[in-house]
Amino acid sequence: METLHGNSDERRLVFVLVHGAWHHGGHWAATAEELRRRGHKVHAPTVTGHGPGAARNVTHTDGVASIVDYLDEHQLNEIVLVGHSFGGTIISKVAEQIPDRIRRLVYFNAFVLPDGGSVFDEIPRDMARMMRRSLVDGTVMLPFEMWRERFVNDADLAVATRTFRTLSPEPVAMLEDHLDLRQFYKLLDAGRLRSSYLYATDDNSLPPGEASGWHPRFSSRLGLCRLVQMPGSHEALLTRPGLLARKLVEAGRD
């Protein structure tokens, strides 16, 4: 494996960054730039059904297929596959299909669902009700107040407002679909998938605590995994891209 600048502690990695709900691949731009500056290769595809003008009548299976197709089209191997938030559900299913092409899975404040689970099963009921009240044409939108207070709580109002305008309605099926993850957990148990959990400690998008927050609730489902922590909100990819890039390397390296 090629090293960077003669530094044996940091080897050239191939990152594939999978975004969360309401986001698209472009939201990774600043973080991807930092990773490339450090010498790594970076891809940030958009999950089908996401981004401005995308068709929204899609399922979770469609979303997974769009990422597998991207990896095939670009002939990517030895991948550090990163999932942010909802993106964690995508990378778990992608890993079932191409386990031998993945160097490591990295869950960045991401959902690690149990077999048969859905995203809506894992979020507070009041949050799910609020989202469902916004249901229009099979999509749900995040209210600005929730975005500002829970998602970008480490940014000022101007940044919160500007970034909110870049979000798009989320196909509700992505959050409601219950996932068969038996193969994913078989691969984990067999040691065929290595994983890391990257936890931004100021994340308030889910209520903090062992039973309701991101860590250790989701990280513990990975079994033996590497835990990396950093300060920052759920949207550290927008508010702290330089630090996030460094921590992604810590999470993704051997």
Domain assignments of the chain as residue spans, ordered by start: 3-252
Q: What is the pLDDT of residues 78-117, one digit of tens each?
A: 999 999 999 999 999 999 999 999 999 999 999 999 999 9
Q: What is the mean pLDDT of residues 207-220?
A: 92
- The pair of structure tokens assigned to 125 is 């009921």
Q: What is the mean pLDDT of residues 177-201?
A: 99
Q: Assess whether pLDDT exceeds 80 at residue 172.
A: yes
* The one-letter amino acid at 160: A
Closest CA to 78 of 31, 29, 14: 14
- Sequence-separated (6 or more) residues with CB below 8 Å from residue 120: 128, 175, 176
pTM: 0.96
pLDDT at 208: 86
- Sequence-separated (6 or more) residues with CB below 8 Å from residue 198: 106, 107, 108, 109, 228, 229, 230, 247, 248, 251
pLDDT at 214: 98
Mean pLDDT taken over the chain: 95
Cα-atom radius of gyration of the chain, to the nearest Å?
17
CATH topology of domain 3-252: Rossmann fold (3.40.50)
Q: What is the mean pLDDT of residues 16-38?
A: 99
Strand locations in 5-97 (E): 7-11, 14-18, 41-43, 79-84
- Sequence-separated (6 or more) residues with CB below 8 Å from residue 11: 1, 2, 3, 4, 253, 254
Q: Per 3-state DSSP, what percentage of the chain is helix, strand, and coil (rounded to 5)? A: 40, 15, 40
Q: What is the pLDDT of residues 104-151, one digit of tens each?
A: 999 999 999 999 999 999 999 888 888 888 899 999 999 999 999 999
pLDDT at 1: 45
pLDDT at 3: 52
